[in-house]
Structure 1
Amino acid sequence: MSDCIIEMSGLTKRYKSKTAVLNADLKIFKGEIVGLIGKNGAGKSTLLKMIGGLIYPTSGELHFFNRSSGENQSFFERMGVLIENAGLYPHYSAYENLNLLAMAYGLKDRNKQIEKLLQLVGLDHKNTAKVKSYSMGMKQRLGIAIALLGSPDVLILDEPINGLDPEGIVEIRQLILELNKDGLTIIISSHFLEELSKIATKYAIIHQGEIVEVISREELLQKCEERIEIGVDEAKTAIPVLERELQISKYKVAYGQTLYVYDRNIEIRQITKVLVDHGVSVDSIYKHKQSLEQYFLERTESAGDHYD
């Protein structure tokens, strides 16, 4: 049985003359934390709303648990969704907010579930303070608790750290990681790749409504890892020399004529000297370090502008 719980193929959403999402293809597997990264207005919220059943796609296919979403709308009940504002009642306490929704959902043993959820997100169920007095971080945690009512299989969070102070960001990050430990699949959008890199296991980069790249956490970190890039006539002639003389073991060959060396205890001057001494011509050599933000900007800029 496949662990793919959400699959979208050619998912598109148009509003009159504006295309918000175009031909989105993405597979999401059980237990993943998928980071949807894109600039403001890139289409992140629209895509999440389609996944969460808040809006219908104009075209394309959306499958949950290997079945079409059109076959059974109850699949959307297995989604916990926090997009934009949580829709809190400001003059009620956290417990009262959850209790109202739990009654509307017809949940059994709601008192026990509410207490458990509030404890999970770090709020006191006995606190009678009105939500209007809460900090932004506390409101976000309550919003996540509301999204978790009914024990969903997938949690969808749209920009959950927007407007939070550093302490609030850390609290939400720890909460997301804790929820994921129990096997909850999480889809989280943000335009802060640096923060997403601390929690996501996979990234989908979206630009002007199109998913331009899907990349795993390991692949992304490797692309941005500090390395020495060496340009030679043939990499296969340089490798034995570097292995033998400098005991270099962490390297990668790119395009046949470029070597990426990841051994951090090796200096550029050492590599240059050894190669030249053994008759290997060095065309270029430099240290490369790309930030996650730089990588994101390169991918979105290379995608260009496709439509109005």
Structure 2
Amino acid sequence: MDAITTHNLTKTYGKNTVVNNINLSIKKGVIFGFLGKNGAGKSTFINMITGLVNPTDGSFEILGYKGNSIKEIRHKIGVLPDYSTFYEDFTALDHLKYFSKLLKLSLTKEDLITTLKRVELEDAIHLKTKQFSFGMKKKLGIAQALINKPDILFLDEPTSGVDANSVLNIHSIIKDIALNGTTIFLTSHNLDEVEKLCDEVAIMNKGTIQTGIWNS
């Protein structure tokens, strides 16, 4: 079974077509790279297949479920959006406690601390996020996306705007997650990044797939 399948998936806003007839088939267990410059339509594509935005036309399946049934499998999906924001006076641990309650997860404090350690935030467990660097916020966003142990993880520009050392750390985290069998859908505008990380790559340009999928 494929992790994601789309059939002529399309999103328009007025006369502007942001995503145009996208057909993709992504195998389970791979790191899939969705390459394209800012404004290519990558985030809109993710928002559709995670249920945040309704398609204008076309259809999709995720983990074997049709798009109109996505509520049934949201507990199997983790998402790091490109616009992650946090409550400034919450610590890293406070955030994971809050989101675990929203998701109705039965997780102990030790479970949440283990997740923070997994993303290399063990020194920031009790630090308020207003003191976080941009790279630390990206890692907390990844931790938040992992607390439900998802079968598929969407990472929207996970290293955008972070320093070189944080990029290396985040790459290491992504590889570690993939080794445990999680399917990862990664958007980026960095060709070097997707070549290093991804098993398969597709290029999006002005809402369309510019070339077919190729193995990285």
For the superposition of Structure 1 and Structure 2, which TM-score range results when normalised by the shorter chain? Answer: over 0.9
Amino acid at match of 2:77: M
Amino acid at match of 2:49: I
Change in CA separation of 1:127 and 1:83 when aligned onto 2, cut-off 3 Å: closer
Partners of 1:110 and 1:57 lie apart in 2 by 37
The Cα of 1:71 is off from its aligned counterpart by: 3.6
Greater relative contact order (Cα < 8 A, sep 6+): 2
- Specify which of 168, 175, 192 is matched with residue 166 of structure 2: 168
- 1:89-238 residue pairs with structure 2 within 5 A? 89-124=87-122, 127-218=125-216
Q: Is this contact kept in 1: 2:30–2:199, CA < 8 A?
A: yes
The alignment yields a C-alpha RMSD, in angstroms, of 1.5
Between the two proteins, what is the percent identity of the paired residues?
A: 35
Residue deviations 1:97-140 (CA, integer Å, cap 9, x gap): 11111122221133232122111101127742211111111111
Partners of 2:24 and 2:95 lie apart in 1 by 34
Change in CA separation of 1:67 and 1:207 when aligned onto 2, cut-off 3 Å: same
Amino acid at match of 2:64: N
TM-score normalised per structure 2: 0.94
Tell which structure's C-alpha radius of gyration is larger. Answer: 1
Change in CA separation of 1:71 and 1:129 when aligned onto 2, cut-off 3 Å: closer
Amino acid at match of 2:87: Y
Residue deviations 1:129-165 (CA, integer Å, cap 9, x gap): 2111111111111000001121111110111111111
The Cα of 1:212 is off from its aligned counterpart by: 2.0
Amino acid at match of 1:197: E
Q: Which moved more, 1:126-135 or 1:195-204?
A: 126-135
- 1:8-23 residue pairs with structure 2 within 5 A? 8-23=6-21
Unaligned runs of 5+ in 2: none
Partners of 1:162 and 1:65 lie apart in 2 by 27
* 3-state SS in 2 of match to 1:35: strand
Question: Across the two proteins, how many residue pairs are aligned to each other?
Answer: 216
Give 2:57's aligned residue: 59
Q: Is this contact kept in 2: 1:8–1:61, CA < 8 A?
A: yes
Residue deviations 1:28-72 (CA, integer Å, cap 9, x gap): 111111110011111011001112111111111111233312145
Partners of 1:40 and 1:127 lie apart in 2 by 32
Q: Is this contact kept in 2: 1:69–1:75, CA < 8 A?
A: no
Partners of 2:164 and 2:124 lie apart in 1 by 27
Amino acid at match of 1:204: A
Q: Which moved more, 1:121-130 or 1:33-42?
A: 121-130
- 1:244-259 residue pairs with structure 2 within 5 A? none
